[in-house]
Amino acid sequence: MQGSNPERTILINAGNNSNYQSLMAAVEYKYIVAGLDRSGFDAIGLGVWDAALGLDTVTAVAAGSPTDIICANVEGFVPFLRFNKAAGKVLVTSVIDPKLIELFKLKKVVVSDPIKAISRLQREIKHDIFILILHAQGERIHELLAQISGVDLVIDGETGRIEKKTLEVYGKSVARNNFGGKYVSYVDLIQDDRKSHLQVSQPVLSRVSAKTVAEDPEIKILVSQYEEERRLFIKKEQERRRKAAMKHRKPVNLYLGSGWCGSCHGEIEKKWSESHHAQAIKSLEKKKREFDLECLTCHVTGLGDKSAVGGFVSLEASSKMVGVQCEACHGPGGKHAQSPLKTKMKLVTEKNCRICHNHDTDPDFSFARDYKKVDHGKDIKDAK
Ligand code: HEC
Ligand code: HEC
Ligand code: HEC
Ligand code: HEC
């Protein structure tokens, strides 16, 4: 950070910098880590969204990054960093809750017991101040923190939210400031004369100015390198998909487009055509991103679905598959349209919505509430 005093400050990024569902996730992660390094960060945590990229990808990025990516309970990462500061020796580490790895079904990521890893560091590495980046969710934060002591500050690496004050959890101060890099917050260490130990101040929050960051010459270079890499990626990916689509001789099923569905489900189609889902491509056009595969994934229908042909490939090749159409929720309908009574469409599940309404794009998504907005009203039964 500009104007900060290296004698006194440590810049920590808690992790979860990747959106592993994005097509270019690995490339993005590489550039984000490079950007953090250029911005002067001293340590980067490993979050579950990062781990979901595949450990090979993340360790390769870590190997190429001057700023270390730390994690004490996943092999292949630097387990801790120690900084000699005016206030003393500061030990910084990061752990991931194995329960989170289970939740994300990351079978290939081996995590050891975070409590044991923390205790070992506390025992073996001399330090005056201990800062822990904790990747755990909900009740698990409490369960884990109840089992450790001697932590001066916990940074909640999972919550995509910010709180102006640290929370007290089992006597530990927990800071939350993970808001997609849009904020930085800092704490001061206060010497408490009476108790003769260090205390952590309340975090001071300030918004990162996107404009200032974008104007930084080094960041500018990174962005243009990224844009170039993205352009090449898109070109290659489109070519690969075109070839794959041609190879697919025996289609299991076929995407038809909402026009076809409308020929039997007219009422539903009419109502749907006035919905946000139908307009999803327009939102990209407004942002001049309608060519961008990374955005298109969730704003079109059938992109990347290998189980059927006819889904979105590119604007030129499949212009009628734009927007979030019937088949984005109900699945490809070719077989169903041929024999509707014999081939039932699958039921729409929460998982289905969450492919697009994820914690990045729609943190407030609620299946129970939002389902009612898209089920066409239970009274509609118009198929003849
Ligand atoms: C293929 C991706 C995709 C799927 C699957 C999907 N959505 Fe969406 N949804 C979107 C996009 C993109 C938008 C924003 C459209 C726009 O305005 O550009 C959106 C918008 C919405 C909106 C309107 C938001 C508003 O503020 O009015 C609701 C409600 C919604 N979706 C609910 C659902 C539900 C419930 C499901 C599952 C049954 C679902 N969606 C499945 C991509 C998807
Ligand atoms: C993982 C799926 C996903 C990806 C990828 C995605 N979006 Fe969206 N987008 C959504 C969903 C879901 C919504 C609706 C969110 C809501 O209801 O609040 C949305 C909403 C929007 C809206 C708001 C529509 C409005 O005016 O209310 C815009 C604009 C938009 N997206 C642009 C983009 C751009 C640009 C990209 C690429 C950088 C992108 N999206 C990538 C899922 C996605
Ligand atoms: C955002 C997701 C979404 C989109 C887009 C969507 N539907 Fe649905 N549809 C649902 C949900 C949810 C239900 C409720 C039943 C279920 O869970 O499968 C439903 C139910 C239906 C039903 C059964 C109606 C009944 O009363 O049982 C039909 C028919 C249907 N949809 C057709 C369509 C057609 C045709 C389109 C496009 C014009 C479309 N849907 C677009 C989510 C969607
Ligand atoms: C040739 C007419 C026809 C076409 C085309 C057609 N459907 Fe249907 N659909 C039906 C009939 C008939 C039913 C059964 C209605 C009932 O049971 O009330 C049905 C039922 C459904 C259901 C309820 C679940 C089920 O399978 O019974 C969904 C969802 C659905 N259609 C979606 C679609 C979608 C999406 C498309 C476009 C890809 C589509 N349909 C195209 C005639 C058609």
Question: For 239-254, how does the pLDDT look when each residue is reduced to its tens digit (9 = 90+)?
Answer: 888 888 777 666 578 9
Q: Cα separation of 317 and 244, whole Å?
A: 14
Tell me how far the alpha carbon of residue 336 lies from the centroid of ligand 4, in angstroms: 7
Residues with Cβ < 8 Å from 166, sequence gap 6 or more? Answer: 153, 173, 174, 175, 187, 200, 202, 203
Q: Are 326 and 310 in contact (CB under 8 A)?
A: no
Alpha-carbon distance of 176 to 11, in angstroms, equals: 15
Highest mean pLDDT pick, 14-18, 206-210, 324-328 = 324-328
∠ at Cα 299 (278, 381), nearest 5°? 35
384 pLDDT above the threshold of 50: no
Find the 127 Cα to ligand 2 centroid distance in Å. 45
CA 30 from centroid of its chain's CA atoms: 14
Q: Quick one: average pLDDT of 1-20?
A: 80
Kindly state the average pLDDT of the residues 40-49. 94
Ligand 2 centroid to Cα of residue 291, in Å, is 14
Which residue among 23, 272, 276, 297 has the greatest number of ligand 1 atoms within 8 angstroms of its CB, and so is best to mutate? 276
What atom of ligand 1 comes closest to residue 284's alpha carbon? Answer: 18
372, 365 in Cβ contact below 8 A? Answer: no
| Cβ 380 under 6 angstroms from ligand 3 | yes
Is pLDDT above 70 for 176?
yes
Question: What mean pLDDT comes out for the span 71-79?
Answer: 95
Average pLDDT for residues 199-218, to the nearest whole number? 82
Indicate if the pLDDT at residue 18 is higher than 90: no
Which amino acid is residue 283, in one-letter code? S
CB of 326 closer than 6 angstroms to any ligand 3 atom = yes
CA distance 253 to 311: 10
Q: Which residue has the higher pLDDT, 241 or 77?
A: 77
Between CA 278 and CA 319, with CA 267 as vertex, the angle to 5 degrees is 30
Q: Which atom of ligand 2 is nearest to the CA of 19?
A: 1
Pocket lining for ligand 1, CB < 6 angstroms: 276-277, 279-280, 283, 298-299, 324, 328-329, 348, 352-353, 355-357, 370-371, 373-374
pLDDT (0 to 100) of residue 169? 76
> CA-to-CA distance for 76 and 305, rounded, in angstroms?
33
Give the pLDDT confidence score for residue 212 in this predicted structure. 85
CB under 6 Å to ligand 2: residues? 21, 283-284, 287, 289, 292, 294-295, 297-299, 356-358, 361-362
Query: 158: which residues sit within 8 A by CB, 6+ positions away?
Result: 16, 47, 48, 100, 134, 135, 136, 137, 178
Give the list of residues 6+ apart from residue 33 with CB closer than 8 angstroms, or none: 17, 44, 61, 62, 65, 67, 69
What mean pLDDT comes out for the span 292-318? 90
Position 279 confidence tier, pLDDT thresholds 50, 70, 90:
very high
Q: Is the pLDDT of residue 86 over 50?
A: yes
Q: Are 270 and 261 in contact (CB under 8 A)?
A: no
- Confidence at residue 84, expressed as pLDDT on a 0 to 100 scale: 93
Query: CA-CA distance, 28 to 278, in Å (whole number)?
Result: 29
**Average pLDDT value for residue range 143-172:** 85
Ligand 4 binding pocket (C-beta < 6 A) is: 256, 260-261, 263-265, 326-327, 330, 333, 336-337, 340-341, 344-345, 381, 383
Distance 361 CA to ligand 2 centre (A): 6
Residue type, 14: A
Distance (Å, whole) CA 139 – CA 116 = 19
**Arithmetic mean of pLDDT, 201-218:** 83
For residue 44, give both structure tokens.
Answer: 């980067």
277 C-alpha to ligand 1 centroid (Å): 6
Closest CA to 174 of 184, 162, 191, 189: 162
pLDDT at 266 over 90: yes
Q: Which amino acid makes up residue 270?
A: K
Identity of the amino acid at 277: H
Cα atoms found within 13 Å of the Cα of residue 328, Cβ hemisphere only = 24
pLDDT in tens, 101-147: 999 899 999 999 999 999 999 999 999 999 999 999 989 999 999 99
Tell me the CA–centroid distance for residue 360 and ligand 2, in Å. Answer: 9
The average pLDDT across 350-365 equals 91
The pLDDT of residue 383 is: 47
Residue 35 has pLDDT above 90, yes or no: yes
| The pLDDT of residue 260 is above 80 | yes
